[in-house]
Amino acid sequence: MNNPSLSRRDFLVGSAAAATLAGLSACSTTPAARAPAPLAAKRLGPNDRPGIALIGCGGQGTNDALTAAGYGDVLAVCDVDETHAAAAAQKLSVDGRRPAVYSDFRRLLERDDIHVLVNGTPDHWHTLVNLGAARAGKDVYAEKPLTLTIDEGRRLVRAVKESGIILQTGTQQRSSSRFRQACELVRNGRIGQLKSADVWLPAGLREGPFAPAKIPAGLNWDFWLGQAPKVDYVTERCHRTFRFWYDYSGGTMTDWGAHHNDIAYWAIGQLAPRTVTSRVLTPPIAGGYDAISEYEVAYTYADGVKLNIRTTRDDSIYGAKIKPDGQRNGIRFEGTTGWIWINRDGIKASEPELLKAPLPDNAVRLYSSSNHMQNFFDCVRSRKAPICDVETGHRSATMCHLGAISLRTGKNLTWDATAEKFTGDHAREANTYVSRELRAPYDYSFVA
């Protein structure tokens, strides 16, 4: 959502619904192929037009690349699904010039004329593609959530800082003046001392059991699976519904949570909560989607601020047969003297004057961007940090992962944000979810 004034309906049609169609970009039919040697990020001149490549040609990736095409030339697309790659190449053709098509993103990284990557892969491929970009010196617009695990985030932060590339996390709400206004008002005490933030996320899908099916022609299933465990092809595991399986994503907690939890994180202004508890409201169906569909998660920060996450059966955001219950997804900030409600429909407050009175000259001001993709390309040229850089994207994703881990373990947990590990009761079990074993050959050596 690069236009913060988009209506909710327009957004769902043009972006969020497309996000459910994300495909994978990733690999080749030759797992032993070597990754390129490390390269320095190329600084563009004032008149240079960057070469762009799309990796992951599903709906969200293609939409991102179409937006990016306003700032450079899309020279290549990459996907392990031939149908997705061909469709994206067609949509991104300009004046009869069709982008080159790849099935192995590492081969694409070898091209000197490609400066920028758009990473629209499913969540379990985000990190390896982004690490490959860092090694090759390519700046990257990386779809959210930034990583599949917290450990991946630590590795990626280190790689991006060492390489000097620009990475923008695709949490577009940060480039909406409405969301920034809400966060600045909270930070500056316009609702008094912040007591709590309440986030409502869409409920996920609860369906199944599912049976194995024939692998579609043109889809390299083994490479789509990548680091995830080897399993038979199931239609519901792939493409638009991958996010409802923990092998590839974290359910709505890391999908829409990457947007709304990120805004709560921005407003609260603390590195991470201290404790997290959760409650599963609707357990998964055996043999079906295994990501929890309806849940409650409660965080407590060191200063006592509460952050409560709840699911709501909003109106068919994921294409499911779900009827609205009157509670739209969004965020409510509650302070000692007032409240603010914010979502993509609008912003409201306990007193309308809260939203109208200007902040003083010495007020806390947050990073201002009115267009997420433009902010990224401005930073590609200036080499300044974008509004949602790698560290921000990692810490924001960590909030979501903490909730997902609490739901998966069923335990009350304590988090050490500095050491980035669980401590105290149940720490041993919870820390097993901070990282996970990557299936060979799609481990970190794949882009080494």
Fold (CATH) for 8-174:
Rossmann fold (3.40.50)
Which positions ≥6 away from 84 have C-beta within 8 Å?
A: 23, 57, 58
**Arithmetic mean of pLDDT over the chain:** 90
Burial code of 370-398, b = ≥16 C-beta within 10 A, e = fewer? ebbbbbbbebbbeeeebbbbbbbbbbbbb
Q: Between residues 315 and 106, which one has the greater pLDDT?
A: 106
250-306 pLDDT tens trace: 999 999 999 999 999 999 999 999 999 999 999 999 999 999 999 999 999 999 999
Which positions ≥6 away from 364 have C-beta within 8 Å?
A: 184, 187, 188
CATH 3.30.360.10: does it fit domain 177-363+391-431?
yes
* Residue 21, pLDDT score: 32
Is pTM beyond 0.95? Reply is no
**Strand, coil or helix: 52:** strand
For 116, phi then psi, to 5°, come to: -130, 135
Which positions ≥6 away from 393 have C-beta within 8 Å?
A: 142, 144, 145, 146, 153, 167, 169, 171
Contact (CB, 8 A) for 59 and 75? no
Contact (CB, 8 A) for 166 and 379? yes
327-373 pLDDT tens trace: 578 999 999 999 999 999 999 999 999 999 999 999 999 999 999 99
Model confidence at 180, in pLDDT bands (50, 70, 90)?
A: very high
Which positions ≥6 away from 86 have C-beta within 8 Å?
A: 101
- Find where tokens 């820390």 sit: 431
Model confidence at 307, in pLDDT bands (50, 70, 90)?
A: very high
Model confidence at 19, in pLDDT bands (50, 70, 90)?
A: very low
Cis peptide before 145 (omega within 30 of 0): yes
Average pLDDT over residues 393-417: 98
Tell me the domain boundaries of the chain.
8-174, 177-363+391-431
